[in-house]
């Protein structure tokens, strides 16, 4: 390989790494289901840099990676109630683009085999799984969104974010690849001053650290007037009705009584969200104040994370289906995060293991209802109010 060819390959490699870095930074600043397309746009400069190479090995590597992700999802990596849905397919596609494409493209420069690319991707997926399971929620990337990117998206739309990605790539190419060394420092200083000026001109709004307030109503039958009495004058952003058979008219009446803009109807085998202002919008996700909220059949950590990301106090009215034997049997059907949220107000019935959260949820007589996995402890951290008909 001649010196010119080697320098060109090195330049292309650095360009690819810069594209990967900027794409990952932008992807970490956006809602999860949006980073697939944006990351793909971020890698366009890498595609241009490698326009004279063959993509057969890249396609082979991407196929192996996507196949592994599908197997991982169905094996238990993703929530079981969303596996097979179109949302899961979008997540898989986003992961495939974010991980498979850059590794596969860089493999064309470094002459990596598809097996090597697959191994690197497996390590990346394993790290993501371990990080989401064992790292504290305050350190998890899902807990943080870039205020600058969100402001840019709200002010200009997603095209502004795409333009920002392109600008980042072009700036990196200008400084590190095309410009002489003596021009790099002024360019870096100019970019830094621009970023500082933008931060001072558009400061991010302060985020509230107020914990979620969860209202658990234990009753088998309810009416709009009853739910209004139970909720009181608490402002409810989202009314959750797990496995309650209701018509749309009844749901609208309950939403109006509880001052809830959205109603989540969860029944056996499916879940949906109905917004009174959009009667035909039945789906398994909605948006509150611009933040997507994904609702499975029970209260789960993703729901808590997304609601906490709203930056304001959110009240939930969760009505589990009580049984004739004991209302706690209905609670026992929930997953660990839902159990902890529902039982947090039972006082002595909840055992505190450490300051990170709850380790075990017990019933009023001391029976163990559920153990809380370590990865969900930091997702609890909220005050719950247990309301039953006898307390009103």
Instruction: Check whether residue 51 and residue 173 sit in a common domain.
Output: yes
pLDDT digits (tens, 9 = 90+) for 163-173: 554 454 444 44
Instruction: Check whether residue 220 and residue 364 sit in a common domain.
Output: yes
Note the pLDDT of residue 262: 45
Q: Is 4 exposed, middle or buried (0-12, 13-18, 19+ CB in 10 A)?
A: exposed
Tokens for 84, please give them.
């097979």
Q: Is 370 helix (H, G, I), strand (E, B) or coil?
A: strand
pLDDT digits (tens, 9 = 90+) for 225-237: 555 555 555 444 4
Q: Which of 45-59, 243-257, 274-288 has the highest mean pLDDT?
A: 243-257
Q: Which residues pair with 226 in a beta bridge?
A: none
Instruction: Check whether residue 223 and residue 321 sit in a common domain.
Output: yes
Domain final residue, candidates 201, 228, 259: 201
Question: What's the rounded Cα separation, in Å, for the pair 157 and 311?
Answer: 21
Residue 288 pLDDT greater than 50, yes or no: no
Instruction: Check whether residue 259 and residue 376 sit in a common domain.
Output: yes
Tokens for 159, please give them.
């095209």
DSSP assignment of 276-310:
TTEEEEEESEEEETTEEEE--SS--HHHHHHHHTT
Domain final residue, candidates 201, 236, 262: 201
Note the pLDDT of residue 223: 55
Tokens for 94, please give them.
């986003």
Instruction: Check whether residue 161 and residue 184 sit in a common domain.
Output: yes
Note the pLDDT of residue 351: 30
Confidence of residue 26 (pLDDT cuts 50, 70, 90): very low
In a domain, residue 109? The reply is yes
Range(s) of the domain holding residue 86:
3-201
Instruction: Check whether residue 169 and residue 233 sit in a common domain.
Output: no
Instruction: Check whether residue 196 and residue 254 sit in a common domain.
Output: no
Instruction: Report which secondary-structure segment, H or E, holds 351.
Output: strand 350-354
What's the mean pLDDT in 1-29? 53
Helical packing angle, 158-173 and 147-156, nearest 10°: 120
Q: What is the mean pLDDT of the chain?
A: 43
Question: What is the CA angle 145-150-153, rounded to 5?
Answer: 150
pTM: 0.24
In a domain, residue 318? The reply is yes
Question: What's the rounded Cα separation, in Å, for the pair 180 and 184?
Answer: 7
Instruction: Check whether residue 376 and residue 234 sit in a common domain.
Output: yes
Note the pLDDT of residue 235: 46
Instruction: Check whether residue 247 and residue 341 sit in a common domain.
Output: yes
pLDDT digits (tens, 9 = 90+) for 109-166: 556 555 565 555 555 545 444 444 443 332 333 333 333 444 444 444 444 544 554 4
Instruction: Check whether residue 190 and residue 297 sit in a common domain.
Output: no
Note the pLDDT of residue 252: 53
What is the count of structural domains for the chain? 2
In a domain, residue 207? The reply is no
Contact 14, 110 (CB under 8 A): no
Confidence of residue 244 (pLDDT cuts 50, 70, 90): very low
Note the pLDDT of residue 67: 53
In a domain, residue 267? The reply is yes
Note the pLDDT of residue 17: 57
In a domain, residue 206? The reply is no
Q: Is 225 exposed, middle or buried (0-12, 13-18, 19+ CB in 10 A)?
A: exposed
In a domain, residue 64? The reply is yes
Q: List phi, psi (to 5°) of 307.
A: -70, -40
In a domain, residue 185? The reply is yes
Question: What's the rounded Cα separation, in Å, for the pair 168 and 194?
Answer: 13
Domain final residue, candidates 155, 176, 201: 201
Instruction: Check whether residue 197 and residue 224 sit in a common domain.
Output: no
In a domain, residue 361? The reply is yes
Q: Which of 56-65, 134-143, 272-281 has the highest mean pLDDT?
A: 56-65
What's the mean pLDDT in 299-317? 35
Instruction: Check whether residue 175 and residue 229 sit in a common domain.
Output: no
DSSP assignment of 261-273:
SEEEEEETTEEEE
Question: What's the rounded Cα separation, in Å, for the pair 118 and 122?
Answer: 6
């Amino acid at each position: 390989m001649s010196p010119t060819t080697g320098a060109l390959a090195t330049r292309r490699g650095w360009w690819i790494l810069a594209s990967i870095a900027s794409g990952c930074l932008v992807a970490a600043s956006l809602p999860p289901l949006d980073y697939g397309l944006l990351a793909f746009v971020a890698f366009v400069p890498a595609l241009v840099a490698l326009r004279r190479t063959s993509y057969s090995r890249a396609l082979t590597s991407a196929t192996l990676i996507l196949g592994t992700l599908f197997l991982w999802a169905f094996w238990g990596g993703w929530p079981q109630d969303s596996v097979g849905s179109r949302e899961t397919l979008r997540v898989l596609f986003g992961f495939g683009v974010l991980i498979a494409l850059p590794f596969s493209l860089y493999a064309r420069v470094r002459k990596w085999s598809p097996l090597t690319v697959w191994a690197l991707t497996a390590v990346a997926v394993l790290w993501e799984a371990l990080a989401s399971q064992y790292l504290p929620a305050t350190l998890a990337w899902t807990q943080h969104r870039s205020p600058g990117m969100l402001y840019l998206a709200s002010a200009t739309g997603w095209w502004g974010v795409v333009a920002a990605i392109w600008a980042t790539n072009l700036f990196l190419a200008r400084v590190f690849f095309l410009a002489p060394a003596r021009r790099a420092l002024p360019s870096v200083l100019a970019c830094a001053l621009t970023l500082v000026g933008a931060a001072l001109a558009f400061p991010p709004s302060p985020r509230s650290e107020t914990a979620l307030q969860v209202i658990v109503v234990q009753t088998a039958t309810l009416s709009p007037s009853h739910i209004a009495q139970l909720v009181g004058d608490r402002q409810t952003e989202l009314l959750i009705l797990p496995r309650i058979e209701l018509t749309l008219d009844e749901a609208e009446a309950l939403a109006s009584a509880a001052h809830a803009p959205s109603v989540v109807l969860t029944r056996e085998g499916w879940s949906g969200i109905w917004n009174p202002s959009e009667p035909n919008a039945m789906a398994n996700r909605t948006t509150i104040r611009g933040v997507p909220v994904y609702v499975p059949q029970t209260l789960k950590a993703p729901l808590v994370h997304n609601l906490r990301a709203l930056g304001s106090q959110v009240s939930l009215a969760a009505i589990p289906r009580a049984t004739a034997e004991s209302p706690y049997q209905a609670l026992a059907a929930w997953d660990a995060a839902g159990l902890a949220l529902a039982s947090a107000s039972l006082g002595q019935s909840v055992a505190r293991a450490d300051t990170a959260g709850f380790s075990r949820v017990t019933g009023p007589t001391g029976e163990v209802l559920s153990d809380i996995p370590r990865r969900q402890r930091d997702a609890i951290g909220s005050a719950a109010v247990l309301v039953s008909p006898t307390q009103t």
